[in-house]
Amino acid sequence: MNITLQDISLASFPEKISIKEVSGGRVQVYMYGPKSYSNQLAVITHYLHNPNLTETYPREQAKKYLKEYLEYNYPQAEITESVLKESLQADLFNNFFQIPFPSPIDYHFTFIDLFAGMGGFRLAMQAQGGKCVFSSEWNVFAQKTYLANFGEMPFGDITKEEIKKYIPKHFDVLCAGFPCQPFSIAGVSKKKSLGKETGFKDKTQGTLFFDVADIISRHRPKAFFLENVKNLISHDKGNTFKIILSTLEELEYSVYYKVMDGKNYVPQHRERTMIVGFDKRRYHNNEHFEFPQPSNIHRKLRDILENNPDKKYTLSDKLWNYLQQYAEKHKAKGNGFGFGLADLDGISRTLSARYYKDGSEILIPQNGINPRRLTPRECARLMGYPDKYIINKVSDVQAYRQCGNSVVVPLIAAVSEQIIKTINNYE
């Protein structure tokens, strides 16, 4: 039987992803059948959003994956070449483009989004007129949130060569909120004691930072923008950060770094290390970059609160009693551990990825009843995400985790603005 475009319904194509937890807390993802297709939707959506930009998502590969999808859903149909050719047009995939945060049509630069999480870097860079040409994120729940907001499924584990091959050859800015892993300097010290030089692969092998450095080395973007925890600078008595800086400088990039607090942009104390670099071969150390100056605006936690939050976010008597007893026990020992009852006219503590467990670091006081957790929407607001951002495609637990691992969007946007301004001023 022949099939025509009128016979095909792809309205629910992105929703064909099912995520199942299996033994040991592991997760299995099925895209549209009994077999796992972890990167097929990534290939198709990246191609649809970047049909004229990228040489690494050939039409034939996208058609191959689409054909597998159609053959699974229409087993009696003959999937002709004309169907595959026409079905790659955007009008058949409107659901990938009817999204809260589409890429700018008249973009001014391109960037890639590594360790993308829920897309904070992407929001910030798109606000500067940038177009994302590659994204990756290994967490399947974060992938689902990212897809809902940007119409693009991020590729998976960026440490794998099979994923790296999809990165376009040319792009302007690399963005990465990479996780911090321990660095071993024993091998480096030994080589130096023998009078041998070491390359960046020797220094950083086995860490996620190595994969970032590797991509910078291969593609040589105009600039990079990395974000990490405040303690990155002091980790291992400063040795970790020393290796990071020396590695980036060895790649011939001028490097700027600064610890910045999100409280200047949202009502949350959240210190993070910002690392920015520019290609010395292109700019010759003449780029004149400066980090943005913090504003003097007083942020209030009450400004991000919902008017009528669901009662399920109010702590049970059992949990509230436990938290109070726990705090008293540590107070008696002279420790500072305990819950954080927030000042609604001030700023909150740092939101963590473990917030879903008991919400203890940020509790909202309520008149006459137990305090409550922040809702997922309030957590998204606390990280600077606008209300049209879709946060409910995953469970509350996963939404809390994603927000706790996210960047502060307006802070990233402020630094991004300075990066793009620096590039434009030079060029």
The pTM score is 0.88
The confidence band for 185, taking pLDDT boundaries of 50, 70 and 90, is low
Check pLDDT > 80 for residue 420.
yes
Q: What is the DSSP string of 297-350?
A: ----GGGG--SS--GGGBPPHHHHHHHHHHHHHHHHTT---S--B--TTS-B--
Per annotation, catalytic residue among 132, 175, 180, 403: 180
95 three-class SS? helix
Q: Please tell me the distance from the alpha carbon of residue 324 to that of residue 188, in angstroms, as a whole number.
A: 48
For residue 21, give the nearest of 398, 412, 274, 408 by alpha carbon.
Answer: 398
What's the confidence (pLDDT) of residue 203?
67
Question: Interhelix angle for 59-73 vs 40-49, to 10°?
Answer: 130
Cα 185–Cα 189–Cα 192 angle in degrees, nearest 5 = 140
pLDDT in tens, 118-143: 999 999 999 999 999 999 999 999 99
Q: Between residues 100 and 240, which one has the greater pLDDT? A: 100
How high does pLDDT run on average in the chain? 85
372 three-class SS? strand
Residue ranges of the chain that CATH labels 3.90.120.10: 306-343+354-404
CATH 3.40.50.150 describes domain 109-296+407-426: yes
Q: Please tell me the distance from the alpha carbon of residue 143 to that of residue 135, in angstroms, as a whole number.
A: 10
Count Cβ neighbours within 10 Å for each residue of 186-225 and write b for 16 or more, e otherwise: eebeeeeeeeeebebeebbeebbbbbbbbbbbebbbbbbb
pLDDT in tens, 70-114: 787 778 778 888 777 777 766 667 778 889 999 999 999 999 999
Check pLDDT > 80 for residue 412.
yes
Q: Is the dihedral of CA 245, 182, 176, 43 positive or negative?
A: positive
Q: Report residue 300: phi and psi, to 5°.
A: -125, 135
Task: Please give the CATH number for the structural domain made up of 306-343+354-404.
Answer: 3.90.120.10
Residue ranges of the chain that CATH labels 3.40.50.150: 109-296+407-426
Helices within 205-238 (DSSP H only)? 208-219
What's the confidence (pLDDT) of residue 74?
76
> Does the annotation count 379 as an active-site position?
no
What's the confidence (pLDDT) of residue 190?
43
Query: 392 with 399: CB under 8 angstroms?
Result: yes
What's the confidence (pLDDT) of residue 97?
85
Q: Please tell me the distance from the alpha carbon of residue 293 to that of residue 95, in angstroms, as a whole number.
A: 40
Per-residue pLDDT averaged across 8-25, rounded?
Answer: 53
Q: Is the dihedral of CA 95, 101, 105, 109 positive or negative?
A: negative
Q: Which residues contact 207 (CB under 8 A, 6 or more apart)?
A: 181, 182, 183
Query: 267 with 304: CB under 8 angstroms?
Result: yes
The confidence band for 263, taking pLDDT boundaries of 50, 70 and 90, is very high
Query: 3 with 78: CB under 8 angstroms?
Result: yes
Q: Which residues contact 133 (CB under 8 A, 6 or more apart)?
A: 46, 50, 53, 54, 110, 111, 112, 168, 171
pLDDT in tens, 304-337: 999 999 999 999 999 999 999 988 887 777 676 6
Question: What are 366's two structure tokens?
Answer: 């309520």
Paired residues of 19 in beta bridges: 29
Lowest-confidence pick of 20-34, 119-133, 334-348: 20-34
For the CA atoms of 67, 72, 78, 80, the dihedral, rounded to the nearest 10 degrees, stands at -10
The confidence band for 294, taking pLDDT boundaries of 50, 70 and 90, is confident
Q: Please tell me the distance from the alpha carbon of residue 222 to that of residue 395, in angstroms, as a whole number.
A: 38
Q: Which amino acid appears at position 96 of this protein? A: F
pLDDT in tens, 41-63: 888 888 888 877 656 556 678 78
The confidence band for 15, taking pLDDT boundaries of 50, 70 and 90, is low
For residue 175, give the nearest of 210, 218, 100, 124 by alpha carbon.
Answer: 124
